[in-house]
Structure 1
């Protein structure tokens, strides 16, 4: 079986009524976990909280957000025009 989501990809965590303490929302895939049993799993980091979670692939869906946490934390470089003669 192959993983559907790549490391660094932004995904939406689907709300789960059976796991009430798990918030839904935007997450970043940190690690693709090895296949064990009948489900693929990932370690994800929610952008709304500091802890990481292990979730099943069916609890995730692709996100329209294109930037990860690392890109948001990095300040942009200043561009200085250079005149050539």
Structure 2
């Protein structure tokens, strides 16, 4: 089983692909690691600006700054 690359509380940058619709890119905080048997792990993340939560794939995420946003 492949491990998640990001951890709860970590700041990440969401970089949606062109087929991902209107998902706002930018700074998010990992809220929860989701179980997934596929190669592309999933996370519940919260947008730093508006607080909206969404489920995203690991391939949509990049490491963010090492600071917590509140």
- Name the TM-score class by shorter chain: 0.7 to 0.9
TM-superposed deviation, 1:68:
3.0
Unaligned runs of 5+ in 1: 70-85
Higher relative contact order (CA 8 A, sep 6+): 2
Structure having the higher helix fraction is 1
Larger Rg computed on CA atoms: 1
* Structure 1 runs (4+) greater than 4 angstroms displaced: none
SS class of match (1:37): coil
Unaligned runs of 5+ in 2: none
2:60 is the counterpart of 1:56: no
Q: Please name the residue that 1:29 is paired with.
A: 30
Structure 2 CA distance, aligned partners of 1:57 and 1:12? 11
What TM-score does the superposition give when structure 2 sets the normalisation length? 0.86
Residue correspondence of structure 1 range 36-47 to structure 2 within 5 A: 36-47=37-48
Structure having the higher strand fraction is 2
SS class of match (1:58): helix
CA RMSD of aligned residues (A): 1.4
Judge conservation of contact 1:11–1:63 (CA < 8 Å) in 2: yes
Structure 2 CA distance, aligned partners of 1:15 and 1:41? 14
Report how many residues are paired.
69
